[in-house]
Amino acid sequence: MEFKHDVIIVGAGLAGLRAAVEVAGNTDVALISKVYPTRSHSGAAQGGIAGALGNEEPDLWEWHMYDTVKGSDFLADQDAAEILAKDAPRAIYELEHMGVPFNRTADGRIAQRAFGGHTSNFGKAPVKRACHAADRTGRVIMDTLYFESLRKGIKVYEEFYLLDLLMHEKRVVGLVAYELATGAIHTFHSRAVLLATGGFGKVYKTTSNCFANTGDGVSAAYRAGVSLQDMEFVQFHPTGIYGLGVLISEAARGEGGILRNRYGERFMEKYAPGLKDLAPRDVISRAMAREIREERGIHGRDFMHLDLTHLGKDRLAEKLSDISSFVRIYLGIDPADDLIPVQHTCHYMMGGIPANLDGQVLGENQQVIQGLYAVGECACISVHGANRLGCNSLLDLVVFGHRAGKRIVRELGDLAWNPMPKEPDKSFLVKIEHLKERQKGESAWVLRNEMQGIMTAHCSVFRKKEDLEKALAGIQSLMERYEKVVIDNRGMRFNTDLTEAIELGSLLNLSHVILVSAMAREESRGAHFREDYPERDDQNWLKHTLIQKTGEVCRLSYKPVTITRFEPKPRVY
Amino acid sequence: MEVNFKIYRFDPETDSKPYYRDYTITANPTDRILDCLNRIKWEQDGTLSYRMSCGHGVCGSDAMKINGRCALACQKLVKDYEGKEIILEPLPSYKVLKDLIVDLDPFFEKVKFVQPYLLSTTALPEKERLQSPENSKKLDIAIRCILCACCMGACPVLNENERFLGPAPLVWAFRYIFDSRDTQYLERLKQVDYSHGAWACVNYYECTRACPKEIPITKYINTIKREIQKSKDTNR
Ligand SMILES: Cc1cc2nc3c(=O)[nH]c(=O)nc-3n(C[C@H](O)[C@H](O)[C@H](O)COP(=O)(O)OP(=O)(O)OC[C@H]3O[C@@H](n4cnc5c(N)ncnc54)[C@H](O)[C@@H]3O)c2cc1C
Ligand code: FES
């Protein structure tokens, strides 16, 4: 079938929904999501959303901006970081007005707590900046925005899977989608497409990300010729539940939790004497990896302990109840009495589709691609640079979701209906047919396991040339084997065997892009740590990576960082 | 250890009626039931369909019947069913679309019926509206709902009477009735004050037992009933 809407938003996480609320009402807008909207991964966000409201102690947006820039290891574009920090209070009040049930201070204002890398007075001491609803902040914001966008009459295509972006002479025309319930392939004709498809942590074996975080939107943009930005910057969160990767939010340390090694030492005192357990994630993940290498992991093994026992049962029940229940269910221990085994877990992708301050996607020579927008984790605006601070993602989603939505409304009158290409769905129809017919080859899960193993072993917290080369060869050979991937299910209804095989295509593409970008960057900055180049090198590398697909190969180029208020300086915590 | 599964299978397009298929896999006692499903699908039978996303009980995708009880497959572990065959069936009360996937549209329609968004006629302040911590705490537990519909599948009343609004929508009604920022208190009470609304609940407590987020649903429904009564008494 062919559907037609002025605006199509792909993705129902906070980024897509915030834009949807802005656009819905007087425009013909549709939302498509491969998981039922309320299942989107924004709902897993636990800790909070940052904003210098100053409800608990003095705070200024300038301090927030500084922390963001320093956290990014000076790779964030400072015009973007300024908007993020300055607009935060407004964006959060607006969420409150829509009904988000934030926790409250004694005098009835929005309660705030400490979070990694957020400080007062340009780095002097931790500050309470994270607005939260216990440890289910993302969930309550998402439900509020979802029901608000329904109230405004948005059309939702639930469980529709974006296969391909359609372009015509470098303008967006629409997209091709697969309907999970029926197996039908549909085309969507539109004047504007906003991508809000989230991250792709499933590139790695251990991740806090959901099964749906496979980077389909980023990969579709890449295949359509859009370059990707800063893809080497992958955030590993220090506290995933050992073995599982399920997240124990930084909120646990914001409330007073402490990381310990096998001797019970609070090892972060050594690595970040100022902020200790509330240092940014890249710093802590590396410190943990060091401790483990030097055999101070618990029982000499590859995990550390998170100590929440001193917080007391009441505080745990009130502020960290979901987390406590994860620990009870999956580990069978009680955080009030027992230490929690934790290990770093792939958490967030700083890189993505390059976009300007209004979410307009940037193509060739940084020119706007007409009609194409991207916000949220799939985009790179870039506010997070080489390392994102906790609670700045939810903020990014609502601040830039709102801006992109406004831009679309403003611009729609000028956006034309471009002609659809002939047989727009042909390539995927053929691909799916082949997939279903193929009898001999390997299953997607076998290739996926290998990919995750390779990326985890060779492109995690520590990286070096030989490892990255090894990984690249491995991924390239997997890409060849993927050409002959087979599936078991030839049916039409909810064929997740088929969609998982398609997702693997995106993941392999993105693994490749991450590796090529990481090999090229011969310095250490934020989450990208090269053992063979352990220092930051502003002389040569204070710039954003761009990688573009040209035919069967990819091409790297670079663009400058926007620096306004804060000159780069050594990053110590 | 070896674990035996018996899984409900049905593709309305090709099967004349549902059937069960047996699978045996090797699993650790601490594996999630969802991990087992994945292993079955990946290694043995790609035709099996179920929903999943977060894998740790926050998105609400994988509600199903596990050995007769409605639960999330990602929140139950193999050791919870020690030594038993594990039977997986779709959530009751809803139309099966394929295997363990049911049509939840009627569920979401019922949630929408209670207007799950803030309704307020007061002017907005420049900053946040004030709300006392006591009031915010009243909603603390209700806002844990992840819309998984386990409670709906578990409710014996709903199994018999599909017109019953059901436990989850009533939790959402509770959440807004008691939110001090919402000004439609009486209208909201009226909305659920009908025979298939709050009053259809006869306190089986099955929803409360099934809720993966430990929301005291039945208690909340009873609170709503009392509040309706109270509002009528004071208006008389
Ligand atoms: C466990 C966890 C806790 C976190 N806690 C915090 C926190 O406390 N504070 C904070 O600021 N950040 C936090 N983050 C980060 C933050 O939650 C994410 O970065 C953010 O939610 C991403 O939102 P999004 O809207 O970009 O995408 P998502 O919420 O991931 O949504 C992606 C959407 O795209 C859709 N989609 C994807 N592919 C397709 C396709 N092919 N076709 C159709 N639809 C598609 C999906 O269905 C989904 O609706 C956390 C992250 C995790 C994993
Ligand atoms: S997969 Fe999200 S609740 Fe189970």
A344-368 pLDDT, tens digit per residue, is 999 999 999 999 999 999 998 889 9
Q: Which of A170, A185, A183, A187 is nearest to A221 (CA)?
A: A170
**What's the pLDDT at B197?**
97
Same domain, B83 and B109: no
Same domain, B78 and B50: yes
Q: How far, in Å, CA of B90 to CA of A311, rounded?
A: 40
A233, pLDDT greater than 90:
yes
For the segment A528-544, the average pLDDT, to the nearest whole number, is: 97
Residues lining ligand 1, CB < 6 A? A 10-16, 32-35, 40-42, 44-49, 137-138, 161-162, 196-199, 208-209, 212-213, 216-217, 247, 249, 347-348, 376-378, 390-394, 397
List A residues 205-264 in contact with B (Cβ-Cβ < 8 A): 210-212, 244, 246
Cβ contact, residue pair A97, B61, below 8 Å: no
Same domain, B118 and B189: yes
B164, pLDDT greater than 90:
yes
B82, pLDDT greater than 90:
no
Q: In one letter, which amino acid is A52?
A: A
The complex's ipTM works out to: 0.96
**What's the pLDDT at A281?**
93
Ramachandran assignment for B75, one of left (phi > 0), alpha (psi -120 to 50 degrees), beta (any other): alpha
**What's the pLDDT at A168?**
86
Q: How far, in Å, CA of B105 to CA of B108, rounded?
A: 5
Same domain, B87 and B121: no
Residues lining ligand 2, CB < 6 A? B 52-55, 57-62, 72, 74
Instruction: Spot the catalytic one: A260, A281, A286, A525.
Output: A281
Nearest to B55 among A99, A211, A489 (CB): A211
Residue of A32, A320, A393, A397 best suited for mutating to test ligand 1, as the one with most atoms within 8 Å of CB: A393
> B236: pLDDT confidence band, cut at 50, 70 and 90?
low
> A393: pLDDT confidence band, cut at 50, 70 and 90?
very high
Q: In one letter, which amino acid is A411?
A: E
Same domain, B98 and B109: no
Q: How far, in Å, CA of A343 to CA of A168, rounded?
A: 46
Same domain, B82 and B16: yes
For the segment A254-276, the average pLDDT, to the nearest whole number, is: 95
**What's the pLDDT at A568?**
97
Q: What is the CATH number of the domain that holds B216?
A: 1.10.1060.10
Same domain, B72 and B124: no
Query: Parallel, antiparallel, or unpaired: how do β-strands B2-9 and B86-89 relate?
Result: parallel
Q: Is A459 on the interface with B (CB under 8 A)?
A: no
Encoding tokens for residue A303? 């995990």
Kindly report the number of other CB atoms within 10 A of residue A504's CB atom. Answer: 21
Cβ(A514)–Cβ(A463) below 8 Å? no
Q: Is A497 on the interface with B (CB under 8 A)?
A: yes
Encoding tokens for residue A381? 């605006």
Domain range for residue B15? 2-102
Domain termination site, one of B66, B87, B102? B102
Q: How far, in Å, CA of B112 to CA of B95, rounded?
A: 19
Collapsing DSSP states into helix, strand and coil, what is residue A136? coil
Collapsing DSSP states into helix, strand and coil, what is residue A166? strand
Nearest 5 degrees, angle CA A384-CA A389-CA A395? 75
Same domain, B173 and B224: yes
Instruction: Work out the mean pLDDT of chain A and round it to a whole number.
Output: 96
Encoding tokens for residue A521? 């960057």
β partners of residue A547:
A228, A556
Q: How far, in Å, CA of A391 to CA of A372, rounded?
A: 27
**What's the pLDDT at A551?**
80
Q: In one letter, which amino acid is A329?
A: I
For the segment A292-304, the average pLDDT, to the nearest whole number, is: 95
> A185: pLDDT confidence band, cut at 50, 70 and 90?
very high
Cβ contact, residue pair B46, A107, below 8 Å: no
Domain termination site, one of B37, B67, B102? B102
List B residues 103-132 in contact with A (Cβ-Cβ < 8 A): 104, 112, 116-118, 124, 126-132
**What's the pLDDT at B83?**
79
Query: Parallel, antiparallel, or unpaired: how do β-strands A340-349 and A304-307 relate?
Result: antiparallel
Same domain, B98 and B159: no
Q: What is the CATH number of the domain that holds B58?
A: 3.10.20.30
Min Cα–Cα distance to chain A from B100, Å? 10
Q: What is the pLDDT of residues B46-79, one digit of tens each?
A: 999 999 999 999 999 999 999 999 999 999 999 9
Query: Parallel, antiparallel, or unpaired: how do β-strands A185-195 and A171-179 relate?
Result: antiparallel
Query: Parallel, antiparallel, or unpaired: how do β-strands B86-89 and B101-102 relate?
Result: unpaired
- B47, B56, B97, B176: which to substitute to probe chain A, counting the most A Cβ within 10 Å? B56
Q: How far, in Å, CA of A87 to CA of A341, rounded?
A: 38
Q: Is A44 on the interface with B (CB under 8 A)?
A: yes
Q: Is B30 on the interface with A (CB under 8 A)?
A: yes
How many angstroms is it from A573 CA to the middle of ligand 2?
37
Q: How far, in Å, CA of B95 to CA of A194, rounded?
A: 33
Domain termination site, one of B54, B76, B102? B102
**What's the pLDDT at A170?**
87
Chain A with chain B: Cβ pairs closer than 8 A: 156
Residue of B31, B33, B38, B53 best suited for mutating to test ligand 2, as the one with most atoms within 8 Å of CB: B53
Same domain, B75 and B160: no
> A235: pLDDT confidence band, cut at 50, 70 and 90?
very high
Same domain, B97 and B6: yes
Q: What is the pLDDT of residues B16-40, one digit of tens each?
A: 999 999 999 999 999 999 999 999 9
Q: Which of A223, A278, A241 is nearest to A552 (CA)?
A: A223
State how many domains chain B has: 2
A281 is catalytic: yes
Contacts of B128 in chain A (CB under 8 A): 53, 92-93, 96-97, 102, 109-110
Q: How far, in Å, CA of A102 to CA of A92, rounded?
A: 10
Cα dist from A459 to A311, A520, A531, A564, whole Å: 35, 13, 12, 32
A444, pLDDT greater than 80:
yes
Q: What is the pLDDT of residues B92-105, one digit of tens each?
A: 999 999 999 999 99
Same domain, B82 and B133: no
DSSP state letters, A326-377: HIIIII---TTTSPEEEEEEEEEE--BEEB-TT-EEE-GGG-EEEEEEE-GG
This model's pTM is above 0.95: yes
